[in-house]
Amino acid sequence: MNEIASKARRKGRVRSLAERIGKLTAAVVALGALVNAGVDVLARIRNVPTNKFEQSNEVLYKQHYQETPVVSQPYDVRVGVDVTVRMLVQLYSNGDVFVQYGDWQQWIPVRQPRFASISPIADAVAQSGLPAPPPSLATQLQAKAVVVDLPKLKAELLAVRPPQEASIEKRYQFGELKDDHPEIFSSSGQRYSKTFQAESGYRISTYVVQYWNKNNFKEEGFALSPDGKVLTLTFSLRSGPYFDRYRAWVNGEVKTTQARLD
């Protein structure tokens, strides 16, 4: 009897210890989730990117906003009888891609960069990436793939061709970002200018600007040189004070028609 009672007491102590360990583990996981949630709220308030998609947009925009893409292809996607959505796909020289579809924008890196986590405690559940497409779909996509030869495209862009057409169309992409906050309690502005050079043997005859995205931006005007070879866009950006830290930016495209010099 004493031996049976002793075994029962040992089992009770083991069960009690297991219950305490389970409660402690649950408390640690809950505490980690609360801390991470607090960090996420703070990051949202301070406009800090919180996932790899937002971080990709932040990093790649700063990397490419002054760079002209190798390929810039717009698409008009008809989604209804009288509804058409503009999609823009841009490919940059290092292989990074920018996609704009309606009001949605996303930068896609050629290689996934490493981003530092802003959460002090690792998530309790690992987050997996997007699932791979089914093999049949992947085969179909591969069969319809279009090959883009970046070295060849860059060589063609750098090649100097003699003017042949009496009139040509040339597009110029531009962008600027102001994310400094030198003033503590007041916003700060800065003036910028972008110049667009006509193709060799041509002069700019007409131009129109399209802004893809802008924030705290003010256009001051365009100026075309008397010989029509240089077009200058002047604008200003105004970022917020140090305690608010809102940013200012603009990116877009200037479409020109250029006439051949006789």
pTM across the whole model: 0.45
CA-closest candidate to residue 178, choices 169, 187, 170: 187
Element (H, E) at 209: strand 202-215
Between 6-10, 49-53, 141-145, 167-171, the lowest mean confidence (pLDDT) is in: 141-145
User: How far is residue 143 CA from its own chain's centroid?
Assistant: 29
Whether the pLDDT of residue 218 is over 90: the answer is: yes
Give the residue with greater pLDDT, 67 vs 80: 67
- Report the share of the chain in percent with pLDDT over 70: 60
Q: What is the pLDDT of residue 82?
A: 73
CA atoms within 13 A on the CB side of 41: 6
The amino acid sitting at 86 is: R
Query: Does residue 261 sit in helix, strand or coil?
Result: coil
Average pLDDT over residues 82-90: 78
The span from the CA of 160 to the CA of 109, in Å, is 30
The two tokens of residue 118 are: 């802003």
The span from the CA of 260 to the CA of 201, in Å, is 6
Whether the pLDDT of residue 137 is over 50: the answer is: no
Q: Model confidence at 139, in pLDDT bands (50, 70, 90)?
A: very low
> Residue written as tokens 């057409």?
165
Give the residue with greater pLDDT, 223 vs 141: 223
Give the residue with greater pLDDT, 110 vs 161: 110
Q: What is the pLDDT of residue 91?
A: 83
Average pLDDT over residues 118-140: 46
The two tokens of residue 113 are: 């960069």
Sign of CA dihedral 189, 190, 191, 193: negative
